[in-house]
Amino acid sequence: MARFAYEALKDRGVIDLIREISPKSVREPYLGCNLNLPGSVTQQMHMDRTFTNEFMIANISVVDTDLINGATDVVPGSHKRFYKYWQWVLLGKGRAHKRLPSEAGDVLIRVSNLWHRGMPNLSDKPRPMLAFTWEDGGSAEADPFAQNGGKIQFRPNWFAPTRMGRLIERTFVVAPITYNTYRFATSIFSNKSY
């Protein structure tokens, strides 16, 4: 499935377009898939990396994705300058958010600096979304499918799947204000906005 999508992006010039937009995306992309599982909760608005370490992302919808099964929420234009999280909050930047419903096969090209958040999947099926990404110019592998010996690897997303990681995640899910406060405070000293 990922290979078919990758070949299609190449044939249709989408990979060239990404290199045109961001010439440092010289190598092959890392291949990933965001699985939004039933029962997921709203993520907090974030960038995927620090502002000055930005990279390109091509998301391909594998299934029709709507407000029920968790279409991503984005803030158009929010990649143009850097906001520390506390600035983001005080300026109310998140108010201009927009859900992005899509049909299977649609491609979203964005830079990691675009603020966005995963949304709850209210359906009873996982929502897959392919992610081709060019962190630091792309993969070290000449063949993107050679990543991890060609095997599928399940990776945790935000929180470690340890007792401590789960405790932190549960706390933030049950009382999001604790996470907001933590991010607000740490953003005064750090340039992380995720």
Ligand X SMILES: O=C(O)CCC(=O)C(=O)O
Residues making contact with ligand X (CB under 6 A): 34, 36, 48, 70, 72, 116, 118, 129, 157
Interacting residue with Fe ion among 28, 36, 45, 48 (CB under 5 A): 48
**Listing from the earlier edge strand, what are the strands of the sheet with 73-74?**
98-99, 73-74, 116-117
**Residue with the shortest CB distance to ligand X:** 118
When CB distances are held under 5 to 8 angstroms depending on the partner's kind, the choice from Fe ion, ligand X, none that residue 157 binds is ligand X
Least separation in angstroms between residue 92's CB and ligand X is: 21
**Pick 13 or 156: Cβ nearer ligand X:** 156
Tokens representing 165 are 């990681």
Least separation in angstroms between residue 24's CB and ligand X is: 21
When CB distances are held under 5 to 8 angstroms depending on the partner's kind, the choice from Fe ion, ligand X, none that residue 110 binds is none
Least separation in angstroms between residue 16's CB and ligand X is: 25
- Length reported for the chain: 194
**Pick 28 or 48: Cβ nearer ligand X:** 48
**Pick 40 or 187: Cβ nearer ligand X:** 40
Least separation in angstroms between residue 27's CB and ligand X is: 22
**Pick 10 or 125: Cβ nearer ligand X:** 125
**Pick 26 or 96: Cβ nearer ligand X:** 96
